[in-house]
């Protein structure tokens, strides 16, 4: 829509305005910019006299508006500088004289160019389009419905600039007022494509010209005919400093592999004294079963836990990939320098006492030393990390050894311990648990780059309070998530939470809605709470990707069927309208007073064969894409009998090529807990005493699949 | 606002309109009704000629509107019968001629009275006030913000008619657009009192005149000056049949006591054959430990499980309070008649095969028999019931014996089994679990009337798919909940869920928002899901009522503090702004790099004494009303050490008269599960691996306290 020439013209205008110290563009400059980027505005022209204004109005056709033209007056309406709905030459001339006279009177120092004569816009739906700068993600495009009510409800959505047309289209659907765009009460729908193109254009504008710090198109009138930006404000500010380029993916991968899968480990500050962190780390490494060499470093010991001890880092043998630090904060920078000299490429900084306690100086110092030696490090202020495929427990916490497909990270030690406890209690198979703490170096995108190619990892769950580099994270997440779901618990969602995060890790959170929107558009599944994240992480890798949106509930308990239906709606799932032939097939198996349709209610008194027949039918029929099973504990079909039959039916379906997500809600006496365990062991997410959790994890699977474009559109 | 005379005039108008077969009132009649009930409308008058219209306009002052006056034309605007903004006599005369001519042309048969001349309303905020008829609750008043956006968002709230002024005021706060009433962007706030009075008036109108089936005041223009209902529609319909009067509270209580605390029990269809329902019921009654006489009835047995068996009901000894039915559906009505003859006052109908399977005839038959003998009964189609204080397990399910303060009921057998399993697994102390099934007789309000005076019950949780008599339930709930929290899981919240409920128990759910609003205004706590209901039921009786809104978080894990803060906001809790002196007191106990404020972050490395000192301080200070504790598992303060110290601190505070709600989130390895158990045993709700659940149950306690007016307003 804009050629190179257009962009260069804009650059010249912006440079000139910046050079003259201005923070906003004039109407004429705005007009040029909009022209260059294909942002439709009303026909308009600058008049330097009342007769010229009348002449322009005659060209555009009545009615017109007359607006004061001055770079020094930004809020024109409030300054009385706007007159709308002028229908005759006399009115236009009078309006010109009035706005220029009032501006001169109100703003004695202002330079006044004259007045803008503007075509009035036809009626339509008022929307708001803008661009802004976020501390975490940089340039964002915003879209919202216009009107005062929306300000109260904050119905707005964000996209990352630059923006593709498809992403722009999906932004239009993300506001609560979206139905208004499609037309309600018999109104015509607005031109969505024109609106999407407008978002793309604004995104391109702020991407090409980082000096344009804020764009405000308010209102944009959208109608069947197209869109018109009625009022356009463009603000200027010195562009933010360019971030230093990240290392290449290969380099990051090499360093992360040495950090998380080291050939040999040194423990700086290893100790023989029980209760010391340096002792716990040694003990966990050894008892955890790590097979590579472990070298304790401590000038005061000859041997620690049966391993010969080194007096100083310089004495260490070759081949050490990572140094675990268990020394006081004040000694960390010195030891960092020592490992650099010795050629050790990575470190794990357990010690506290850095930025989180106000000692930003100590943190900056160790960052400088690490950069000098190109050392990558975790922390400081962390519990360490676990990597189960190599049986590494590089931590002072309790060891963990249930290997499995889920990699987890946390910014907080307390949350790390909750992850560990839940994982052990639920038997959650884990590939890694990594503490990130102050994130003075390694952060989430580095970890994602490693887990992306780690064969032991099939799902990644991350607790975070902030992102050091939002764009880098989104870029990697978008690449990784289609194959390995990325689940994020972003703490500090609320204003109070964000304040607490600031005092905890100094995290600076922007508008939480930005995280919501950008995570979704980059394939990330957001977990609303801690237990949700853990439940999603446990269940998502077990479920195959659904081939479509049609979800069927089969239940032995009508009451569960009702609650499961509610939960499906709550979690954005589509309850299949069962086709007549399939409905008839179900009716063959269920009692006459049972209900086909959806839920399929097989009723409570049925034997195992009824569960088996109906579930098998649902798995076999290609029109059903996911199955929610509600079990009711009865004497006729006890919990373990049910669990075993379901395991068989699902296994048979998988063998026959009919792999579909199946989740289970079990209502019954405590025996259902063992049934849940059995089902989970066989890859079927199952939960006792709740109708919400099974549907919530299925909903998360669907969010993931949709966010990553993995569900074919309905035929 | 309206005297008896006004109400009588309205009655006369309504009767006359009904008598002439009309379903709407004319403009003139509407005007009379509004006058009688103090519903402010624009000044207006009926003109039967253009000159009369001009005369009226001159009286009211310009601008005016002219509207066609005809009882046969309800949607005037759509019929072209409304002309607004008339500023001169000529315009008024022309408008009169036009609307009458068009109406004659468009509605040839319509009787046209002339045209209404109406004062135009000053600018203000448009709102909607109405009254409607709900299948469950009867006459409701509705309030919402006006405008097309609101139709899309369905931002509307409901109140039960008649309505007090205080209830009307609180309705104004329940819409999302409420801030608009207070004035945004420098606008003046609207006259809330006038708006509240308008709601009261509309509620009174539909209460006094049940023939008025629908009231639609749209728009009402609200401004600083007051409110004006610009357009008023009143529809008529034959009033719904009066419900038969419920029995007196004393009578219900007497019957429910005989049902749930019987002196002797008969089991109709008792069986010696294991696996039969009649055998399971006998076994549960005996093994459960019921101390009263148990009489099996079965013509084929002499003795069942050591108890002499009766051939028929007529043979039973005196003093039987309840008969448990374990016979086929077809035999129930006959047996009901037999127990009636024998003078047994209550029954428990376990059998299925009635309305839920389409046999409404069988259900109607047994209802008729029961009414004839004044028998109250549970079911049919239920698992039975438990009443632990008397060790009654009148059910074919597994027995349950952990006595405690919570009474539960469920409409569905599956949900009943989930309640039982959760209760056993969590060690939830229960007074009763009652199946309601088809609710052909006893329903939730009967049970509430019993639990209200049952000393063993301190909290009531109910799963329901519908309410047979919404008003009766609300009335009893409002009376009971201030002393014993009433928690409701209303299934069928969503359209899909409601459809499933209809096919399950034939439940007819109206707009779910109605339940939300009416539950809240009658003191009921609504649980969003099954597990939420169970969690609330377990935790609410343990917590004292908070004396105010100020909630303080004390945490050893900064990361938990952030998530707990988010959860407080999510659950509508107020994070206390800690006064400077209290802040200073906390700082005495926590390390310099910890954070006072809220959360109080004592940091992870602290010994038990720091937890003890800070929590004791919070419990002692009267400005803190509830405490959320975040624990982080460390070697310095292991889980059980923490749990024991917290039990002590809370006990000391209670002894000192400082009883406050305290809830705990525990982050750590699996040992935290035992710590949670210990804390629960000592009356402190505590949860592992989650920051959401402890805050959710505290939030439920606050919802309950606020809904029941138990929290003093902040000074």
CB contact under 8 A, B421 and A689: yes
Phi, psi of B458 (to 5 degrees): -120, -5
- Measure B378 CA to nearest chain A CA, in Å: 17
Which DSSP string corresponds to B417-479? HHHHHHHHHHT--EEEEEE-TT-SS--HHHHHHHHHH-TT-SEEEEEES--S-HHHHHHHHHH
Phi, psi of B132 (to 5 degrees): -145, 175
Which residues of B fall within a CB distance of 8 Å from A559?
A: 410-415, 463, 465, 491, 504
Distance (Å, rounded) from C-alpha A153 to C-alpha A150? 5
Q: How many CB pairs under 8 A join A and B?
A: 307
The reported pLDDT for the residue numbered A176 is 84
Q: Which of B469, B462, B430 is nearest to B447 (CA)?
A: B462
- Whether chain A has a CB inside 8 Å of the CB on B436: the answer is no
- Whether chain A has a CB inside 8 Å of the CB on B357: the answer is yes
The reported pLDDT for the residue numbered A148 is 64
Q: What is the mean pLDDT of residues B104-119?
A: 87
- Measure B696 CA to nearest chain A CA, in Å: 12
Phi, psi of A2 (to 5 degrees): -130, 135
- Whether chain B has a CB inside 8 Å of the CB on A184: the answer is yes
The reported pLDDT for the residue numbered A26 is 92
Question: pLDDT by residue (tens digit) across B379-426?
Answer: 999 999 999 999 999 999 888 989 999 999 999 999 999 999 999 999
Tabulate helix, strand, coil % of chain A (nearest 5).
Answer: 40, 20, 35
Kindly report the pTM of this predicted structure.
0.90
Q: What is the mean pLDDT of residues B87-105?
A: 90
Tokens read off for A532? 């949700």
Is residue A696 left, alpha or beta, with left meaning phi > 0 and alpha meaning psi from -120 to 50? alpha
Distance (Å, rounded) from C-alpha B147 to C-alpha A201? 31
Q: What is the mean pLDDT of residues A35-55?
A: 92
Which DSSP string corresponds to A630-697? EEE--SSS-HHHHHHHHHHHHHHHHHTT----EEEEEESSTHHHHHHHHHHHTT--EEES-SHHHHHH
* Nearest chain B residue (CA) to A151: B184
* Nearest chain A residue (CA) to B355: A593
Question: pLDDT by residue (tens digit) across B261-309?
Answer: 999 999 999 999 998 999 999 999 999 999 999 999 999 999 999 999 9
Residue B292 burial (10 A CB sphere; 0-12, 13-18, 19+): middle
In this predicted structure, the answer to whether residue A509 has a pLDDT above a threshold of 70 is no
Question: pLDDT by residue (tens digit) across A193-205?
Answer: 999 999 999 999 9
Is B646:B615 a contact under the CB 8 Å cutoff?
yes
Residue A437 burial (10 A CB sphere; 0-12, 13-18, 19+): buried
In this predicted structure, the answer to whether residue A154 has a pLDDT above a threshold of 60 is yes
CB contact under 8 A, B560 and A415: yes
The reported pLDDT for the residue numbered A214 is 93
Nearest to B414 among A553, A597, A604 (CB): A604
Q: Residues B470-473: contacts with CB within 8 Å, 24+ apart? A: B470/B134, B470/B136, B470/B137, B470/B138, B470/B518, B471/B137, B471/B138, B471/B160, B472/B246, B472/B445, B473/B443, B473/B444, B473/B445, B473/B448
Choose the mutation target among B563, B601, B674 for the interface with A, i.e. most A CBs under 10 Å: B563
Question: pLDDT by residue (tens digit) across B603-643?
Answer: 888 899 999 999 999 999 999 999 999 999 988 899 999 99
CB contact under 8 A, B148 and A604: no
Which residues of B fall within a CB distance of 8 Å from A553?
A: 500
Please tell me the least confidently modeled range out of A74-83, A138-147, A278-287. Answer: A74-83
The reported pLDDT for the residue numbered A1 is 45
Percent of chain A residues topping a pLDDT of 70 = 96
Tokens read off for B277? 């329902």
Tokens read off for B463? 């799963």
The reported pLDDT for the residue numbered B120 is 83
Confidence of residue A141 (pLDDT cuts 50, 70, 90): very high
* Nearest chain A residue (CA) to B426: A670
The reported pLDDT for the residue numbered A290 is 97
- Measure A47 CA to nearest chain B CA, in Å: 33
- Whether chain B has a CB inside 8 Å of the CB on A531: the answer is yes
CB contact under 8 A, B151 and A418: no
Distance (Å, rounded) from C-alpha B388 to C-alpha B468? 27
- Taking CA atoms, B380 is separated from B276, B324, B398, in Å, by 18, 11, 19
CB contact under 8 A, A562 and B491: yes
- Enumerate residues 620 to 659 of chain B having a beta carbon within 8 A of any beta carbon in chain A: 630, 632-633, 635
In this predicted structure, the answer to whether residue A192 has a pLDDT above a threshold of 50 is yes
List of E strands, A303-400? 303-304, 307-308, 322-325, 346-349, 376-378, 384-387, 392-395
Angle between helices A4-19 and A192-208 (to 10 degrees): 60
Tokens read off for A203? 């995104």
- Enumerate residues 272 to 331 of chain A having a beta carbon within 8 A of any beta carbon in chain B: 275, 280
CB contact under 8 A, A412 and B145: no
Tokens read off for B509? 């759910």
Tokens read off for A414? 């307390």
Tokens read off for A177? 């007022």
- Whether chain B has a CB inside 8 Å of the CB on A90: the answer is no
CB contact under 8 A, A504 and B148: no
The reported pLDDT for the residue numbered A484 is 97
Query: Rounded to 5 degrees, what angle do the CA atoms A362, A368, A373 make?
Result: 130
Q: What ipTM, to 2 d.p.?
A: 0.89
Distance (Å, rounded) from C-alpha A134 to C-alpha A309? 50
- Whether chain B has a CB inside 8 Å of the CB on A604: the answer is yes
Nearest to A673 among B425, B492, B532 (CB): B425
CB contact under 8 A, B667 and A421: yes
In this predicted structure, the answer to whether residue B685 has a pLDDT above a threshold of 80 is yes
The reported pLDDT for the residue numbered A366 is 96
Q: Which of A658, A465, A470 is nearest to A546 (CA)?
A: A658
Q: Which of A440, A454, A442, A376 is nearest to A409 (CA)?
A: A442
Q: What is the mean pLDDT of residues A664-691?
A: 97
Tabulate helix, strand, coil % of chain B (nearest 5).
Answer: 40, 20, 35
Question: pLDDT by residue (tens digit) across B21-72?
Answer: 999 999 889 989 999 999 999 888 899 999 999 999 988 888 888 999 888 8
Please tell me the least confidently modeled range out of A209-223, A501-515, B367-381, B525-539. Answer: A501-515
Q: What is the mean pLDDT of residues B87-112?
A: 89
* Per-residue buried b or exposed e for A626-645, using 16+ beta carbons within 10 Å of the residue's own CB: bbbbbbbbbeebbbeebbeb
Confidence of residue A505 (pLDDT cuts 50, 70, 90): low
The reported pLDDT for the residue numbered A358 is 85
- Measure A373 CA to nearest chain B CA, in Å: 30
Which residues of B fall within a CB distance of 8 Å from A586?
A: none
Angle between helices B165-173 and B512-521 (to 10 degrees): 130
In this predicted structure, the answer to whether residue B78 has a pLDDT above a threshold of 80 is no
Choose the mutation target among B418, B461, B488 for the interface with A, i.e. most A CBs under 10 Å: B418
In this predicted structure, the answer to whether residue A675 has a pLDDT above a threshold of 70 is yes
In this predicted structure, the answer to whether residue A2 has a pLDDT above a threshold of 60 is no
Question: pLDDT by residue (tens digit) across A593-624?
Answer: 666 789 999 988 889 999 999 999 999 999 99
In this predicted structure, the answer to whether residue B508 has a pLDDT above a threshold of 70 is no
Count the alpha carbons within 13 Å of A607 in the hemisphere toward its beta carbon.
2
- Enumerate residues 214 to 253 of chain A having a beta carbon within 8 A of any beta carbon in chain B: none
Higher pLDDT among residues B667 and B119, named by residue: B667
- Measure A331 CA to nearest chain B CA, in Å: 19
Is A560:B415 a contact under the CB 8 Å cutoff?
yes
CB contact under 8 A, B145 and A149: yes
The reported pLDDT for the residue numbered B1 is 45
CB contact under 8 A, B463 and A632: no
Please tell me the least confidently modeled range out of A510-514, A607-611, B321-325. Answer: A510-514
């Amino acid at each position: 829509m804009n050629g190179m020439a257009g962009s260069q013209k804009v650059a010249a205008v912006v440079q000139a305005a910046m050079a003259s110290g201005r923070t906003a563009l004039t109407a004429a400059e705005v007009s040029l910019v909009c022209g260059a980027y294909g942002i439709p505005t009303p026909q308009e022209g600058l008049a330097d006299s009342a007769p010229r204004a009348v002449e322009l109005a005659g060209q555009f056709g009545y009615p017109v508006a007359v607006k004061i033209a001055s770079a020094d007056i930004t809020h024109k309406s409030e300054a009385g500088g706007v007159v709308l709905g002028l229908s005759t030459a006399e009115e236009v001339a009078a309006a010109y004289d009035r706005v220029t006279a009032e501006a001169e009177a109100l703003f004695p120092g202002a330079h006044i160019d004259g007045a803008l004569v503007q075509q009035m816009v036809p009626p339509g739906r008022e929307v708001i389009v803008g661009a802004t700068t976020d501390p975490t993600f940089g340039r964002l495009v915003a879209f919202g419905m216009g009107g005062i009510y929306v300000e109260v409800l904050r119905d707005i959505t964000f996209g990352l600039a630059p923006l593709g047309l498809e992403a722009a289209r999906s932004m239009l659907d993300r506001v609560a007022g979206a139905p208004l765009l499609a037309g309600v009460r018999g109104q015509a729908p607005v031109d969505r494509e024109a609106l999407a193109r407008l978002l793309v254009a604004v995104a391109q504008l702020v991407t090409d010209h980082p000096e344009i710090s804020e764009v405000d198109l308010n209102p944009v009138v959208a109608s069947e005919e197209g869109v018109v930006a009625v009022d356009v404000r463009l603000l200027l500010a010195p562009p933010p400093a360019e971030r230093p380029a990240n290392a290449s993916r290969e380099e990051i991968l090499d360093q992360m592999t040495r950090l998380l899968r080291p050939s040999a480990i040194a423990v700086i500050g290893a100790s023989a004294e029980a209760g010391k962190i340096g002792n716990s780390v040694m003990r966990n490494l050894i008892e955890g079963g790590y097979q590579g060499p472990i070298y304790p470093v401590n000038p005061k010991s000859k041997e620690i836990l049966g391993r010969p001890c080194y007096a100083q880092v310089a004495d260490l043998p070759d081949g050490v990939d990572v140094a675990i630090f268990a020394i006081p904060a004040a000694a960390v920078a010195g030891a960092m320098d020592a490992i650099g000299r010795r050629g050790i490429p990575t470190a794990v900084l357990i010690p506290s006492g850095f930025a989180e306690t106000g000692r930003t100086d100590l943190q900056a110092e160790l960052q400088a030393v690490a950069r000098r030696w190109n050392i990558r490090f975790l922390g400081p202020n962390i519990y360490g990390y676990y990597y189960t495929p190599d049986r590494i427990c590089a931590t002072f916490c309790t060891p963990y050894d249930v290997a499995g497909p889920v990699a987890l990270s946390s910014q907080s030690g307390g949350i790390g311990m909750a992850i560990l406890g839940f994982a052990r209690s639920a038997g959650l198979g884990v590939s890694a648990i990594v503490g990130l703490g102050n994130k003075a170096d390694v952060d989430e995108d580095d970890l994602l780059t490693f887990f992306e190619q780690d064969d032991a990892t099939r799902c990644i769950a991350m607790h975070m309070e902030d992102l050091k580099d939002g764009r880098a994270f989104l870029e990697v997440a978008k690449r990784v998530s289609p194959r390995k779901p990325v689940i994020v618990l972003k703490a500090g969602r609320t204003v109070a939470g964000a304040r607490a995060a600031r005092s905890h890790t100094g995290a600076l959170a922007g508008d939480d809605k930005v995280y919501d929107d950008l995570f979704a558009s980059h394939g990330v599944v957001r977990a609303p709470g801690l237990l949700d994240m853990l439940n999603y992480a446990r269940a998502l890798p077990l479920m195959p990707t659904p081939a479509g949106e049609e979800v069927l509930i089969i239940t032995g308990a009508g009451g569960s069927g009702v609650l499961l239906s509610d939960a499906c709606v709550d979690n954005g799932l589509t309850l299949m309208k069962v086709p007549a032939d399939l409905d008839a097939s179900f009716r063959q198996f269920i009692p006459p007073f049972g209900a086909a349709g959806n839920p399929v209610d097989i009723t409570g008194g049925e034997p195992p064969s009824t569960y088996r027949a109906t579930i098998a039918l649902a798995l076999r029929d290609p029109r059903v894409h996911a199955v929610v099973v509600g079990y009711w504990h009865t004497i006729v079909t006890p919990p373990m009998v049910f669990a075993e039959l379901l395991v068989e039916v699902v296994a048979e379906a998988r063998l026959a090529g009919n792999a579909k997500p199946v989740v289970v809600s079990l209502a019954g006496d405590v025996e259902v807990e063992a049934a849940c365990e059995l089902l989970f062991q066989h890859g079927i997410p199952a939960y006792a005493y709740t109708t919400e959790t099974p549907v919530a994890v299925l909903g998360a699977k669907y969010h993931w699949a949709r966010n990553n474009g993995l569900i074919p559109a309905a035929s």
